[in-house]
Amino acid sequence: MKYIGVMSGTSVDGLDAVLIEDSPNLSVPVKVLGHHYQPWPEKTRTQILALADGVPMTAQSVVSLSQAVSEEHALAVLQLLQEADIAANQIAAVGMHGQTVWHQPPSETHLGYTWQLGSPSWVANRTGIQTVGDFRLADMALGGQGAPLVPYAHRLLFQNSGAPIGILNIGGISNVTLLDTDVTVAPVASDLGPGNILIDSLCRLYTQGTQNMDRDGLYAKRGAVMESLLTSLLADPFFHKPFPKSTGREYFGSKFLSQFDGINQYDAIATATMLTVQSIVQGIARIGVPSTIYVAGGGAKNPFMMEQLQERMNPIRVTTTAELGIPVDQLEAVAFALLSRACLLKIPANVPTATGSSHATILGVLAVPGATPFPVH
């Protein structure tokens, strides 16, 4: 069976749509048949970032934005099908994460909640493919963090009896999954802190929007780490919370970023980069000690960040998921394709050791299309 996963993360750079094919007996690895990347239109991206930063919007504006997000998902799916030369009726399901604009972890007194823009019903009826979305709330209703959800896929794709390994995603937020050598042992996973979110924001700020990232870590390499600021940032309560935990732009957004005010641009980016590195190193050391860390996400494309991680994690080997057969910019979309399959097959796909939920449950809401999709232009 063939499935499509569509993902846009905290960085809000664009949509990754991946087409996979599984094996008849659900064995892994899956085969990746195609990948399409679609940057957000600048207007849509600006509105998403504003909403996520708490800028007041009318109900009409929010609904209009959600429709635009839904339509971009549909376009990404259709473009992927065209590029792969595969008909919609060959796809079992689309798994769409949607675009997170707010994530509130649970507390001692209240369940958490989360909000992803984008409608699976819209995508199903625009593409003619049944679509699964709204993956996180089922876990949160059971007291979980609703994140990370990718350990289910990491376990299917990568767990074996050879050695304990870690799968580290450095997107806007960094998260890790540790897989034991005993395949019957559930993964341990958690968000660790900021990935590229602060670095990207500083690059946009200093270049007046002309650069959205520190490509190859060149800005960070030119700067000096402000050690006193780094120590202060690492003292933030989030880094000392017990695992599992989750976070997002609402925590590591504009308010957190204000701590970099008045600092030389290169020094600020160097310090933000080292905050990402140190929070990852410290977080993984608290969870476990794998033999190898396989990195995915935008951070895997930053050679300076990868060098700093390797230097501080020796003797643990640091490499990328490409070594395991999944390119670094495709892993999370592959995960949501697999989560859509789990929903269709009624397989519980949250991992309580990763999210803190009371028990495992089936994730996602399935939208079934009409017979003929409306033409998308």
Express each pLDDT in 96-110 by its tens digit.
999 999 999 999 999
Q: How confident is the model at residue 376 (pLDDT cuts 50, 70, 90)?
A: low
Asked if 2-148+330-367 and 160-324 have one fold, the answer is yes
Read off the pTM: 0.94
H or E element in which residue 264 lies = none
- Predicted pLDDT of residue 164: 93
Q: CA–CA separation, 261 vs 272, rounded Å?
A: 12
pLDDT > 70 fraction of the chain, expressed in percent and rounded: 96
- Predicted pLDDT of residue 74: 98
Spatial neighbors of 133 by CB under 8 A, at least 6 apart, are: 95, 96, 97, 98, 116, 118, 119, 120, 123, 364, 365, 367
- Predicted pLDDT of residue 21: 95
State yes or no: pLDDT of 350 exceeds 90: yes
Domain boundaries defined on the chain: 2-148+330-367, 160-324
Q: CA–CA separation, 12 vs 10, rounded Å?
A: 5
Q: CA–CA separation, 224 vs 201, rounded Å?
A: 18
Express each pLDDT in 6-49 by its tens digit.
999 999 999 999 999 987 655 556 899 999 999 999 999 999 99
User: Among the CATH numbers 3.30.420.40, 3.90.1170.50, 3.30.70.250, 3.40.50.300, which is that of 2-148+330-367?
Assistant: 3.30.420.40
Q: CA–CA separation, 44 vs 46, rounded Å?
A: 5
Domain 160-324 has CATH 3.30.420.40: yes
Amino acid in position 373: P
Q: CA–CA separation, 359 vs 355, rounded Å?
A: 10
H or E element in which residue 217 lies = none
Express each pLDDT in 249-292 by its tens digit.
999 998 999 999 999 999 999 999 999 999 999 999 999 889 99
Helix 120-127 and helix 59-84: axis angle, to 10°? 40
Of 137-141, 161-165, 349-353, 362-366, the one with minimum mean pLDDT is: 161-165
State yes or no: pLDDT of 143 exceeds 90: yes
The chain-wide mean pLDDT, for the chain, equals 94
Spatial neighbors of 316 by CB under 8 A, at least 6 apart, are: 166, 289, 290, 291, 292, 293
- Predicted pLDDT of residue 319: 98
Express each pLDDT in 49-80 by its tens digit.
999 989 999 999 999 999 999 999 999 999 99
Per-residue buried b or exposed e for 127-159, using 16+ beta carbons within 10 Å of the residue's own CB = bbbbbbbbbbbbbbebebbbbbbbbbbbbbbbb
Q: CA–CA separation, 346 vs 330, rounded Å?
A: 24
Question: If you average pLDDT over residues 217-244, what whole number do you get?
Answer: 96
CA distances for 36 relative to 72, 139, 299, 321, angstroms: 12, 29, 19, 18
Q: Give counts: helices (H), strands (E), the chain.
A: 13, 13
State yes or no: pLDDT of 371 exceeds 90: no
Q: How confident is the model at residue 302 (pLDDT cuts 50, 70, 90)?
A: very high
Peptide bond into 348 cis (omega under 30): no
